[in-house]
Amino acid sequence: MRRLLRRRPGMPGGPVGGGGVLRVDRRTKDLTKRLDPGDVALVDHEDVDRVAADALVAAQPAAVVNAAASISGRYPNLGPKILVEAGVVLLDGVGSDVLDELREGQRVRVEGEQLLLLDEHGGERVVASGTRHSPTSVAAAMEAARTGLSEQLEQFAANTMEYMLRERELLLDGVGVPDVRTSFEGRQALVVVRGYHYREDLATLRPYIREYRPVLVGVDGGADAILEAGHRLDMVVGDMDSVSDAALTSGAEVVVHAYRDGRAPGLERVEALGVDPVVFPATGTSEDIAMLIADDGGAELIVAVGTHATLVEFLDKGRAGMASTFLTRLRVGGKLVDAKGVSRLYRQRISTLQVTALLVAGLAALLVAMLSTSGGQTLLVLLLAQLDGLLAPLRGWTG
């Protein structure tokens, strides 16, 4: 039985200590789009990964209430650590029933290990209880989860072999990659996924994009990231569940990622916008097929922004499909460069024209400085007289 709590006289009427307007969604990436600072996020996300945690922290919620276990022990995922270190209240494992009971827009707060619903009369009642995490509890849970690493590695290896057998023709010979109108031949390609530090990497690569003019490929929400950074979008790839209509109708070529059996959930939405897309049936992830399209099209270099690059990131994603990303990276091989590597290696070239302009500007500044002083004016007269003396024989010879 739930308790009904009444505020004592003089208590403030608003929520405190991890409280605010409730936002509810089973899909974390959908919820973060409408999450305002000070709101309480109610999600159902087992093993919160780093990308989801970064998106939640960026929205600045007062608290995150998770119906599932934010860290189940299957693998030491990074999300809970990011949330608690950012000062976000994290109440864990409250059960899925609360998702059906509560409505978006209600006012709630977290007190201790309880989620309290506030009514219009200033009263409160407990609607759920869970585990409230702290940096200490998250660190202990992550340490305990490390014992499951060997099992996860075995499962990852099994998924990798299964995917290799199922998609060997695509991986080895490029069979099944559709023809696209975007030209990659002899050019560099920049593939942007809305993942790890994508904003920072795009900002760092601005001089590289300006100088080399790579083909800009956005994977789902990565297409919006390219547009937000002020660049022109060449291609959108994905299942179209997290990309805006503006990106889809920007004039970029659209490639809809479909299941192997031909089902393409995002196709109807794209066609409804009047866009004629290319359909690419494949088992892997959307970032995989974006790289395969660039590689098959003859791109001389593929620069990846926000993609999964390390084993820790693959396992942190917690999906069997990440085996395909691992194999795709092996497939494109030496063409693939992570954006962080480019930012370390790349130095903007200075053209001859830029050097000449700099010298002219320097000489002009020196001339102005000389004319502004009596000593400089005298020196300038002497130099001109010396130059006139040197040119006198030449004037006599030409005469």
Asked whether the beta carbons of 309 and 303 are under 8 A apart, the reply is no
What pLDDT was estimated at residue 11?
Answer: 34
What pLDDT was estimated at residue 4?
Answer: 38
3-state SS class at 273: coil
What pLDDT was estimated at residue 27?
Answer: 86
- Report which secondary-structure segment, H or E, holds 164: helix 149-166
- Phi and psi torsions of 119, nearest 5°: -105, 175
Whole-prediction pTM:
0.60
The single-letter DSSP state of residue 9 is T
CATH architecture of 4-145: 3-Layer(bba) Sandwich (3.50)
What pLDDT was estimated at residue 273?
Answer: 95
What pLDDT was estimated at residue 336?
Answer: 83
Q: Which ranges of the chain have pLDDT less than 70?
A: 1-18, 148-176, 308-330, 340-399
What pLDDT was estimated at residue 15?
Answer: 38
Kindly list the domain boundaries of the chain, sorted by start residue. 4-145, 167-345
Closest CA to 40 of 112, 95, 117: 117
3-state SS class at 94: coil
Question: 321-352 pLDDT, tens per residue?
Answer: 555 666 666 677 778 888 765 555 554 455 55
What pLDDT was estimated at residue 285?
Answer: 81
Spatial strand order of the sheet with 107-111 comes to 4-6, 123-129, 114-118, 107-111, 19-24, 40-43, 63-66, 89-92, 131-132
